[in-house]
Amino acid sequence: MLAAGERAEDPDAWYRQGAAALAAAQAPQAEAALWQCLALAPGHASALHLLGKLRAGQGRPEQALELQRASLRADPQLGWNSFAAGELLAAAERWGEAAAALRAAAAALPQEAWIGIKARQAQGMDLSRLFGGLRLADGLSPEAYRVWTERFEAPWPVTAAPAAIRDDWWLDLAPDAVLQPGARAWLAEWLQRRLAEAAVAGAEPPDLIVPDEDRLDANGRRHDPWWKPGGVAESFWATPWLEGGALWRRSWLEQQTLGPPPASSDPEQQRLARWRWQLTALAREPRIETPGRILLRRRQDSADDPGRSPAHGAVLAEALAQAGEAGVTVTPAAPAAAGQATGPAGFRLAWPEPQDLTISVVVLSRDRPDLLAACLASVESSRGPVQLEWLLVDNGSRLEATAALLRHWQQRPGACCHCLEMDEPFHWSRLNNKAAAEARGNLLLFLNNDVEVPPALVAAGDGGWLTAMASQAGRPVIGCVGARLLYPPGNPAAGRIQHAGLLPGLGAGCEHPYRGLPAATTVHRGRAGWLSDWPAVTGACLLVRRALFEAVGGFESALPVEGNDVDFCLRLGALGHRHVVVPEATLWHAEAASRDPVASSTWAPAMALLRQRWPAAMGSTGLWWPAGSATDTPDGRPRELGGLGIP
pLDDT in tens, 259-288: 888 888 888 888 899 999 999 999 999 999
Q: Are residues 318 and 287 in the same domain?
A: yes
Q: Are residues 342 and 446 in the same domain?
A: no
Q: Are residues 312 and 209 in the same domain?
A: yes
**Residue 492: its pLDDT value, please?**
92
**CB neighbour list of residue 133: distance below 8 Å, 6 or more residues apart:** none
Q: Are residues 340 and 375 in the same domain?
A: no
Q: Are residues 119 and 174 in the same domain?
A: no
**CB neighbour list of residue 444: distance below 8 Å, 6 or more residues apart:** 359, 360, 362, 436, 543, 544, 545, 546, 549
Q: What is the pTM of this model?
A: 0.83
Residue that terminates a domain, selected from 348, 373, 393: 348
**CB neighbour list of residue 392: distance below 8 Å, 6 or more residues apart:** 363, 365, 372, 376, 406, 409, 417, 418, 419, 420
What's the number of domains the chain is made of? 3
In a domain, 178, yes or no: yes
Q: Is the pLDDT of residue 336 over 60?
A: no
**Residue 599: its pLDDT value, please?**
55
Residue that terminates a domain, selected from 297, 324, 348: 348
The CA distance from 193 to 186, in Å, is 11
The share of the chain scoring above pLDDT 90, in percent, equals 72
In a domain, 5, yes or no: no
Residue that terminates a domain, selected from 295, 329, 348: 348
Give the distance, in angstroms, between the CA of residue 322 and the centroid of all CA atoms in the same chain: 33
How do residues 241-264 score in pLDDT, each as one tens digit?
998 999 999 999 999 999 888 888
Is residue 446 within 8 Å of residue 419, measured between CB atoms? no
Checking DSSP bridges between strand 208-209 and strand 288-289, what pairing results, if any? parallel
In a domain, 632, yes or no: no
The CA distance from 415 to 431, in Å, is 22
In a domain, 308, yes or no: yes
Is residue 519 within 8 Å of residue 486, measured between CB atoms? yes
In a domain, 636, yes or no: no
Q: Are residues 323 and 377 in the same domain?
A: no
In this prediction, residues 224-247 reach a mean pLDDT of: 93
In a domain, 160, yes or no: no
The pLDDT mean for the chain works out to 90
**Span between the terminal Cα atoms of the chain, in Å:** 50
In a domain, 271, yes or no: yes
In a domain, 408, yes or no: yes
Domain containing residue 571: CATH number: 3.90.550.10
The share of the chain scoring above pLDDT 70, in percent, equals 94
**Residue 213: its pLDDT value, please?**
95
The CA distance from 589 to 515, in Å, is 12
**Distances, alpha carbon 267 to alpha carbons 6, 242, 451, 568, in Å:** 94, 17, 48, 47
**Residue 162: its pLDDT value, please?**
55
The CA distance from 381 to 1, in Å, is 77
How do residues 131-145 score in pLDDT, each as one tens digit?
877 888 999 988 899
Helices (H), 138-297: 142-151, 183-201, 233-238, 250-255, 267-283
Domain containing residue 81: CATH number: 1.25.40.10
Q: Are residues 317 and 362 in the same domain?
A: no
Q: Are residues 392 and 472 in the same domain?
A: yes
Q: Are residues 201 and 96 in the same domain?
A: no
Q: Are residues 366 and 262 in the same domain?
A: no
**CB neighbour list of residue 62: distance below 8 Å, 6 or more residues apart:** none
User: The domain containing residue 372 runs over which residues?
Assistant: 358-501+536-592+602-613
How do residues 549-596 score in pLDDT, each as one tens digit?
999 999 999 999 999 999 999 999 999 999 999 999 999 999 864 444
Is residue 22 within 8 Å of residue 28, measured between CB atoms? no
**Residue 4: its pLDDT value, please?**
54
Give the distance, in angstroms, between the CA of residue 507 and the centroid of all CA atoms in the same chain: 7
Helices (H), 600-640: 603-613, 615-619
| Crossing angle between the packed helical segments 45-57 and 27-40, to the nearest 10 degrees | 150
**Residue 3: its pLDDT value, please?**
62
Q: Are residues 571 and 477 in the same domain?
A: yes
Q: Are residues 257 and 384 in the same domain?
A: no
